[in-house]
Amino acid sequence: MDKALFHSQESEGSSQEETSMDFSIEGMTCASCVRRVEKAIQHVEGVKGASVNFTTEQARVYLATSAQQHLLAIQEAVEQAVSKKGYKAYYINRENPSTVGEYQSRMAEREQRDQAHLVWAIVFTIPLVLSMFLEYATSTPMLPGWIQFLLATPVQFWLGARFYKAGFRSIVSGSSNMDVLVALGSTAAWGLSTYILIKSFFGPVSSMGFYYESSALIITFILLGQWLEHATRRKAALSVQSLQSMRPAVVHVEAPEEPTGYVDRALAEVKVHDRLVVLPGDIFPVDGKVVAGSAYVDEAMLTGESDAVEKNIGDEVTEGTTNLDSHLVVEVLRLGKETRLAAIIRLIETAQASKAPLEKLVDRLSAVFVPIVIGVAVLTFLGWVVAGAPWHDALINAASVLVIACPCALGLATPTAFAAGNGAAARAGILIRDAEVMQEASQVGFVAFDKTGTLTEGLPGVVRICPIKTNDGEKTMEEGRMIHLMGSLSKYSEHPLSQALTAAALEKKVLLDEVVNFKVLRQEGRGVEGTINGITYIFGNTRLMNFYGFTPQELEGIGLSEDEENLTVSYLAMRSHDIRSKPVLLGAVLFDDKVRNEAQETLKDLKNMGIQTAMLTGDGKNIAYRIAKNVGLETVYAALSPEEKQEILQSLRQNDQRAPYPKIAMVGDGINDAPALAAADVGIAIASGTGAAVQAASVTLMRSDLLLVPDTLEISRLTSKRIRQGLFWAFVYNVIGIPLAASGALSPAVAGGAMALSSVCVVANASRLLRWKGKAHQYKGTPCYLGKDAVL
């Protein structure tokens, strides 16, 4: 990943850290809790806003400018406000490993406690279920009522205490949630059974039976559902935790006087410019520069690329990457919140803390869902009583209505799918700024590309070697000899064209000669001069050749085709021993920007997705059309200023002919792309680009791979699809389930199982996104140079 991403996110992340705080929230049991916690935090003085994520169980609190000097007071006030609503809030200091460790320890303890409660619930419930099954199957009498009471009561009031506590909190705060429904429904079954049990001590109770197995099964099913739901949600939220785990607590500080060559210290004690020893298999704990040694490094966590990268003295290494095979000494350049890994973590955390407009709408619907269900339950009870049914049957049917209704399935559909989709995208090398961006990216039907550095690599490549021909058509010099001479002259120059030519010569395994009397010819034009095997050659641009007396007509003798007229040309000439004589022109080499290997495949994938494409470039029409033809683009806007790019995008956004995909995306990497990236519905920046481009974009590609563009849109569409499926399932489930329960077709036990299953199904469906990998990691292209006659 280029420094541009680091620098842009560093400034953004720093300001964000000054204006926001993160808390872990304990005690949330359903999506309705989210809105209640958010309201509590937003009423704290100095808080500008809050976003609570049910999937990660964390809250991001945004502070007003005036509150930035009182962080400790704000922290205490937020924790108290959340506590008053019956939940617990713990401040997470991302730069302090101890607070992050405490948070993870609390999560592990809660997981163990929930698992133990589930096991006990199953132990108490199994005898009740077996007794009920044997009665139906073999007419064996059920367990005596007092034994059923002893088995069901611990489940109801010990293992189910959480539902009473959470339900009471919600009622006190002036709202209601799923816990209220569970507590009311299970208590109705347990209470009715206890009433019948007490009455049986004083005489026969006719046909009235016990419902203890229903109350126990309601609690047990929901505990099981929540345990499965939490386990699945944790997988969807592991992206940040897995990145944070890449920070070792102890590092090896160079100490030549020690037998091992280093001493161990806590990472918190390390400072910039310290030297660290990184052993094979170790994770780099900082951003640094190699000062001794050479090794291959696994940068998959950073770029998603599986191939190892060789690092030598002077090369930079990044925190979180892995030293594969050799001892290295690294000078610390950045650590803690300043590293690139920290910038990535900030991006993902910001995305996870955000909410899409659809999720905010669902939150509002969930807030009114529970009161409606309670109203339906009351009407169910009254309706059965009026119809002449026994009151205890009416009560059981009403309890079934309370238990089967599931606001959680509605509330989980959006945040769980986004967390899973965003995590999968991050692993593939795609950083999406927030949930709203992903929602918009799922509706993109038009993608505009910049040319230089986006469709092309932004670096010159050799297109063709052009020897001068004699009148009878014979070459004055073979291409192989020409590239040998030009490569030998170029290896001493740092100019990009010289470096491209030297690289082409080395790629052809041409042995380069030593050059004497080498000098750079700046005043004469732009080029170099040097002597090889006693013969002096000059190599440079048109202006240099004009200086030595060559006319435009003579230079045109190299025979450029119409497609090559706008390419960059450098000429090779041979000086005679008489410096007053005109040099002899030997030939030329054509350069042009190299098209990215995967450009054609990218455009093909977008076309297969039904997405229109275009090029927006500041280059002239001839160059733009040639590159567009090479990569398969039909629509080209050339010779544009940054402002004109912005205007074209704005006009394209007004075109409503692309439904159901009306949104526009812009892909770029340069400073001149920043206005267009900001003007598009979705701005996609390549991380190797400038900081201005990355900062203006809403999606950042962690490596320079254009196939990540269709991958971005694909994972966004898949995420949107999973959200729609979850919401549809939750809606259909409630529309069908509540009437069935009200009609008496479902017992409370069956209703409880159905409710637990509905949430698990929604979360499991969303978590299928975690298996997505995208196409970019599969494609291995071959070098693609401009021009159909790319020969050396």
Q: Report yes or no: 572 and 486 within 8 Å, Cβ to Cβ.
A: yes
d(CA 116, CA 222): 14
Q: Report yes or no: 366 and 32 within 8 Å, Cβ to Cβ.
A: yes
Specify the residue for token string 């920007």.
Answer: 593
Specify the residue for token string 């898949």.
Answer: 718
Q: Report yes or no: 281 and 322 within 8 Å, Cβ to Cβ.
A: yes
To the nearest 10 degrees (0 to 180), the angle between helices 391-404 and 212-236 is: 10
CA–CA–CA angle 525, 528, 532 (5° rounding): 150
For residue 450, indicate whether it is catalytic: yes
* 417: number of Cβ within 10 Å: 33
- Going by the DSSP 8-state scheme, the letter that residue 142 receives in this structure is P
For the beta sheet containing 58-63, the strands, ordered from the edge strand earlier in sequence to the opposite edge, are: 47-53, 58-63, 20-26, 88-92
Sign of the torsion formed by the C-alpha atoms of 689, 694, 699 and 702:
positive
Q: Report yes or no: 150 and 125 within 8 Å, Cβ to Cβ.
A: no
Beta-carbon contacts of 446 under 8 Å, excluding residues fewer than 6 positions away, are 611, 612, 613, 614, 652, 658, 661, 663, 664, 665
**Type of residue numbered 161:** A
For residue 660, say if its preceding peptide bond is cis, omega within 30 degrees of 0: yes
Q: Which of 22, 179, 450, 681 is catalytic?
A: 450
Tokens of 265: 């210290």
Query: Whole-angstrom distance between the N-terminal and C-terminal Cα of the chain?
Result: 32
Q: Report yes or no: 249 and 100 within 8 Å, Cβ to Cβ.
A: no
Tokens of 226: 């929540």
Tokens of 101: 């460790």
Instruction: Tell me the C-alpha to C-alpha distance, in Å, between residue 361 and each of 283, 356, 364.
Output: 43, 9, 5
Helix (H) or strand (E) holding 365: helix 357-386
Q: Report yes or no: 248 and 268 within 8 Å, Cβ to Cβ.
A: no
Specify the residue for token string 């100095």.
Answer: 46
- Going by the DSSP 8-state scheme, the letter that residue 405 receives in this structure is -
CA–CA–CA angle 286, 288, 292 (5° rounding): 125
Q: Is 689 left (phi over 0), alpha (psi -120 to 50) or beta?
A: beta
Instruction: Tell me the C-alpha to C-alpha distance, in Å, between residue 542 and each of 175, 467, 468, 547, 588.
Output: 79, 16, 15, 9, 10
Q: What share of the chain is helix, strand, coil (3-state, %, to 5)?
A: 55, 20, 30
Closest C-alpha among 323, 364, 407, 409 to residue 35:
364
Instruction: Tell me the C-alpha to C-alpha distance, in Å, between residue 239 and each of 305, 344, 346, 419, 723.
Output: 17, 11, 12, 9, 20
Tokens of 215: 């109350």
d(CA 738, CA 357): 28
Counting Cα atoms < 13 Å in the Cβ hemisphere of 11 gives 10
Exposed/middle/buried for residue 264 (C-beta within 10 Å: 0-12, 13-18, 19+): exposed
d(CA 90, CA 56): 14
Phi, psi of 107 (to 5 degrees): -65, -40
Beta-carbon contacts of 496 under 8 Å, excluding residues fewer than 6 positions away, are 459, 460
Please give the positions annotated as active site. 450
